[in-house]
Amino acid sequence: RKEVEQDPGPFNVPEGATVAFNCTYSNSASQSFFWYRQDCRKEPKLLMSVYSSGNEDGRFTAQLNRASQYISLLIRDSKLSDSATYLCVVNMEGPGGGNKLTFGTGTQLKVEL
Protein backbone atom coordinates (compact mmCIF):
# COMPACT_ATOMS: atom_id res chain seq x y z
CA ARG A 1 0.00 0.00 0.00
CA LYS A 2 1.32 3.46 -0.87
CA GLU A 3 2.07 5.75 2.07
CA VAL A 4 -0.04 8.52 0.55
CA GLU A 5 -2.81 7.72 -1.93
CA GLN A 6 -4.76 10.03 -4.16
CA ASP A 7 -7.21 9.64 -7.02
CA PRO A 8 -5.13 10.68 -10.05
CA GLY A 9 -8.10 12.15 -11.94
CA PRO A 10 -8.27 14.07 -14.15
CA PHE A 11 -11.18 15.95 -12.73
CA ASN A 12 -12.73 18.02 -15.53
CA VAL A 13 -15.09 20.63 -14.09
CA PRO A 14 -16.81 23.75 -15.44
CA GLU A 15 -15.78 27.15 -14.22
CA GLY A 16 -17.64 28.00 -11.03
CA ALA A 17 -18.02 24.40 -9.90
CA THR A 18 -17.09 23.03 -6.49
CA VAL A 19 -14.65 20.16 -6.53
CA ALA A 20 -13.26 17.98 -3.75
CA PHE A 21 -10.08 15.90 -3.62
CA ASN A 22 -9.40 13.16 -1.14
CA CYS A 23 -6.22 11.64 0.15
CA THR A 24 -5.45 8.79 2.55
CA TYR A 25 -2.20 8.12 4.37
CA SER A 26 -0.98 4.90 5.88
CA ASN A 27 1.23 5.97 8.78
CA SER A 28 -0.73 6.92 11.88
CA ALA A 29 2.39 8.61 13.33
CA SER A 30 2.29 11.27 10.61
CA GLN A 31 2.50 14.66 12.19
CA SER A 32 1.49 17.33 9.73
CA PHE A 33 -0.18 17.59 6.40
CA PHE A 34 -0.16 19.84 3.39
CA TRP A 35 -1.61 20.42 -0.02
CA TYR A 36 0.85 21.51 -2.68
CA ARG A 37 -0.04 22.73 -6.14
CA GLN A 38 2.05 21.87 -9.19
CA ASP A 39 1.56 23.48 -12.57
CA CYS A 40 2.64 21.65 -15.71
CA ARG A 41 6.44 21.35 -15.90
CA LYS A 42 6.89 23.56 -12.83
CA GLU A 43 7.98 23.00 -9.26
CA PRO A 44 5.49 22.19 -6.48
CA LYS A 45 4.38 25.13 -4.36
CA LEU A 46 2.67 25.08 -0.99
CA LEU A 47 -1.06 25.73 -1.31
CA MET A 48 -2.01 25.32 2.33
CA SER A 49 -1.26 23.43 5.48
CA VAL A 50 -3.96 21.17 6.92
CA TYR A 51 -4.84 21.48 10.59
CA SER A 52 -6.87 19.12 12.77
CA SER A 53 -9.63 21.67 13.18
CA GLY A 54 -9.88 22.25 9.45
CA ASN A 55 -8.83 25.47 7.82
CA GLU A 56 -9.96 27.76 5.07
CA ASP A 57 -8.09 30.12 2.77
CA GLY A 58 -10.44 31.99 0.48
CA ARG A 59 -12.05 29.47 -1.87
CA PHE A 60 -9.98 26.59 -0.50
CA THR A 61 -10.90 24.47 2.52
CA ALA A 62 -8.76 21.68 3.91
CA GLN A 63 -9.90 19.02 6.37
CA LEU A 64 -8.05 16.36 8.34
CA ASN A 65 -9.54 13.25 9.90
CA ARG A 66 -6.82 11.57 11.96
CA ALA A 67 -9.01 8.66 13.01
CA SER A 68 -9.64 7.70 9.38
CA GLN A 69 -6.21 8.92 8.20
CA TYR A 70 -7.91 11.01 5.57
CA ILE A 71 -7.27 14.50 4.19
CA SER A 72 -9.47 16.50 1.87
CA LEU A 73 -9.29 19.68 -0.18
CA LEU A 74 -12.39 21.53 -1.31
CA ILE A 75 -12.23 24.21 -4.00
CA ARG A 76 -15.27 26.41 -4.40
CA ASP A 77 -16.11 28.61 -7.38
CA SER A 78 -13.39 27.03 -9.55
CA LYS A 79 -11.39 29.32 -11.80
CA LEU A 80 -9.55 28.48 -14.99
CA SER A 81 -6.35 29.35 -13.13
CA ASP A 82 -7.02 26.54 -10.64
CA SER A 83 -6.14 24.01 -13.36
CA ALA A 84 -3.12 22.17 -11.98
CA THR A 85 -2.10 19.01 -10.19
CA TYR A 86 -2.77 18.98 -6.46
CA LEU A 87 -0.36 16.99 -4.32
CA CYS A 88 -1.30 15.60 -0.94
CA VAL A 89 1.77 15.70 1.32
CA VAL A 90 2.40 14.13 4.69
CA ASN A 91 5.20 15.25 7.00
CA MET A 92 6.96 12.87 9.34
CA GLU A 93 9.85 13.57 11.63
CA GLY A 94 13.11 12.11 10.32
CA PRO A 95 15.93 10.48 12.29
CA GLY A 96 17.79 13.74 12.89
CA GLY A 97 14.77 15.61 14.20
CA GLY A 98 14.04 17.44 10.97
CA ASN A 99 11.11 16.82 8.71
CA LYS A 100 10.62 14.52 5.75
CA LEU A 101 7.78 14.86 3.29
CA THR A 102 6.00 12.00 1.55
CA PHE A 103 4.09 13.00 -1.57
CA GLY A 104 1.04 11.53 -3.18
CA THR A 105 1.11 11.13 -6.94
CA GLY A 106 -1.27 14.06 -7.33
CA THR A 107 -4.77 14.72 -8.59
CA GLN A 108 -5.10 16.58 -11.85
CA LEU A 109 -7.75 19.28 -12.10
CA LYS A 110 -8.88 20.83 -15.37
CA VAL A 111 -11.30 23.73 -15.12
CA GLU A 112 -13.12 24.42 -18.37
CA LEU A 113 -15.22 27.28 -19.74
Partner 1 sequence: DAEITQSPRHKITETGRQVTLACHQTWNHNNMFWYRQDLGHGLRLIHYSYGVQDTNKGEVSDGYSVSRSNTEDLPLTLESAASSQTSVYFCASSESISGTIDTQYFGPGTRLTVL
The answer to the question of residue 79 lying near partner 1 (CB under 8 A) is no
Residue 101 sits in the site that holds partner 1 (CB under 8 A): yes
Q: What are phi and psi of 4, to 5 degrees?
A: -135, 125
Among 104, 108, 109, 111, binds partner 1 (CB under 8 A): 104
Helix or strand run (H / E) with residue 112: strand 107-112
Write the burial class of residue 91 (CB in 10 Å: 0-12 exposed, 13-18 middle, 19+ buried).
middle
Q: In this chain, which of 106, 108, 109, 111 binds partner 1, going by CB under 8 A?
A: 106
Binders of partner 1 among residues 19 to 48 (CB under 8 A) are 32, 34, 41-46
The letter for the amino acid at 64 is: L
| Beta carbons of 90 and 3 less than 8 angstroms apart | yes
Binding window for partner 1 (CB under 8 A); candidates: 53-61, 62-70, 76-84, 93-101: 93-101
Q: Does 94 bind partner 1 (CB under 8 A)?
A: yes
* Count of Cβ atoms closer than 10 Å to residue 101 Cβ: 15
Positions touching partner 1 (CB under 8 A) are: 32, 34, 41-46, 49, 87, 91, 93-106
